[in-house]
Amino acid sequence: MACYDVFNGDADGICALQQLRLKSPREATLVSGLKRDISLLLQVDAVSGDEITVLDVSLDKNRDALVDLLARGVKVFYADHHFAGDIPDSNLLDCHIDVAADTCTSLIINKLLGNAQARWAVVGAYGDNFDQAAHELGASLGLSEDDQAEFQQLGICLNYNGYGFELEDLLFHPVDLFGLVHPFADPADFIADEPAYGDLLAQYQDDMSRAQNAYAESESPSGAIYLLPNEGWARRIVGVMGNQLAKQYPERAHALLVDMGDGHHRVSVRAPYNRKDGADELCRQFPSGGGRKAAAGINALAEDLLAQFIDRFNSQFGDAA
């Protein structure tokens, strides 16, 4: 029997898997990639009797591959918080999907494990921009405010590392980053003892300093749209920048569009932080779009659809204020 762990390359995916494998260690082939590389089940060539764990990856975008794997006799454990659509009916599928606007995969796994590795759930929730849920969980664990701040920064950095157009944009491949994280049962020890974290934090801070000079192409009380250049810092920072803007201006929605250099833009959308709803509904209206209620995106928005996207963005969130 072969085992596969398939996970989103962001903080939520990494921290969800970290919790599971600290609680239930097993040898497995790891499958991950850029945060937007979500059709990950296509990379798994499993056969009858094999087992797959899938974390923080849209079932809607992997349904055909999932159905095929189940038909082959593969057992699948699936946990996620993105829009799922129709869920296959199979006794081989153990599915834990919650699309509520205030949860993430790390929190779903933490609930299943009964707080067994809850500190990593705090990191994952902070990384996925669920600050209130993360802080409440951290407080229940007795974390100090200094600990909370460090865990939040770690979560942001893990999340930041997942963004880019190509793997070369990332400081660490997500599989390699998980390998660095996994030896540490306590995130505080990873922060203190893993030199790679210092490298990741330094690059994040450098990219964020460049992002401070970005300005909105259009903004109103209900929404703001940013056009970012086809440069490495913009490709890496777009998700974290969107999260930061959402918290800075909690009553308005945000769209960040990074020039891909080929007549398309990669789009990240954040619903208003105080009303986490509608981002996935907007992005699913366009080819390669998807996500969740609070945060969603479009992998490649054609230039001739840009005006239509802006109109629909304004329509979707025009009453957000």
Q: What is the CATH number of the domain that holds 135?
A: 3.90.1640
pTM over 0.85: yes
Structural domain ending residue among the three candidates 176, 202, 228: 202
How many structural domains are present in the chain?
A: 2
Please tell me whether residues 155 and 276 are part of one structural domain: no
Per-position b or e across 107-124, b if 16+ CB within 10 A of its CB: bbbbeebeeebbbbbbbb
- Residue 213 tokens read as 């000079």
Structural domain ending residue among the three candidates 172, 202, 232: 202
Structural domain ending residue among the three candidates 177, 202, 227: 202
Enumerate residues 6+ apart whose C-beta is below 8 A from 240: 156, 159, 160, 163, 204, 208
Q: Is residue 46 part of a domain?
A: yes
State the pLDDT at residue 38.
Answer: 72
Domain that holds residue 265: 218-317
- CA–CA separation, 235 vs 228, rounded Å? 8
State the pLDDT at residue 235.
Answer: 94
Please tell me whether residues 108 and 154 are part of one structural domain: yes
State the CATH number of the domain containing residue 290.
Answer: 3.10.310.30
- CA–CA separation, 123 vs 127, rounded Å? 6
State the pLDDT at residue 321.
Answer: 37
- CA–CA separation, 144 vs 259, rounded Å? 41
Q: Identify residue 236 by its one-letter amino acid code.
A: R
Please tell me whether residues 165 and 128 are part of one structural domain: yes
Please tell me whether residues 283 and 187 are part of one structural domain: no
Residue among 286, 293, 279, 288 nearest 308 (CA): 286
Please tell me whether residues 135 and 222 are part of one structural domain: no
State the pLDDT at residue 151.
Answer: 98
- CA–CA separation, 72 vs 81, rounded Å? 26
User: Which position has the token pair 């009858």?
Assistant: 48
| pLDDT tens, per residue, the chain with 321 residues | 999 999 999 999 999 999 999 999 999 999 999 987 778 999 999 999 999 999 999 999 899 999 999 999 999 999 999 989 999 999 999 999 999 988 999 999 999 999 999 999 999 999 999 999 999 999 999 999 999 999 999 999 999 999 988 899 999 999 999 999 999 999 999 999 999 999 999 999 999 999 988 889 888 999 999 999 999 999 999 999 999 999 999 999 999 999 999 999 999 999 999 988 999 999 999 999 988 889 999 999 999 999 999 999 999 998 543
State the pLDDT at residue 319.
Answer: 54
State the pLDDT at residue 96.
Answer: 98
Dihedral, CA of residue 177, residue 110, residue 58 and residue 180, to nearest 10: 0
Please tell me whether residues 119 and 257 are part of one structural domain: no
In a 3-state reduction of DSSP, which class is residue 51?
A: strand
Residue among 115, 121, 95 nearest 11 (CA): 121
Please tell me whether residues 143 and 24 are part of one structural domain: yes
Q: Is residue 210 part of a domain?
A: no
Please tell me whether residues 146 and 15 are part of one structural domain: yes
In a 3-state reduction of DSSP, which class is residue 38?
A: coil
- Residue 260 tokens read as 């891909």
Helical segments of the chain, H only: 11-23, 63-71, 105-113, 118-127, 131-140, 145-160, 174-181, 187-193, 195-211, 232-248, 279-283, 306-317
Please tell me whether residues 224 and 291 are part of one structural domain: yes
State the pLDDT at residue 320.
Answer: 41
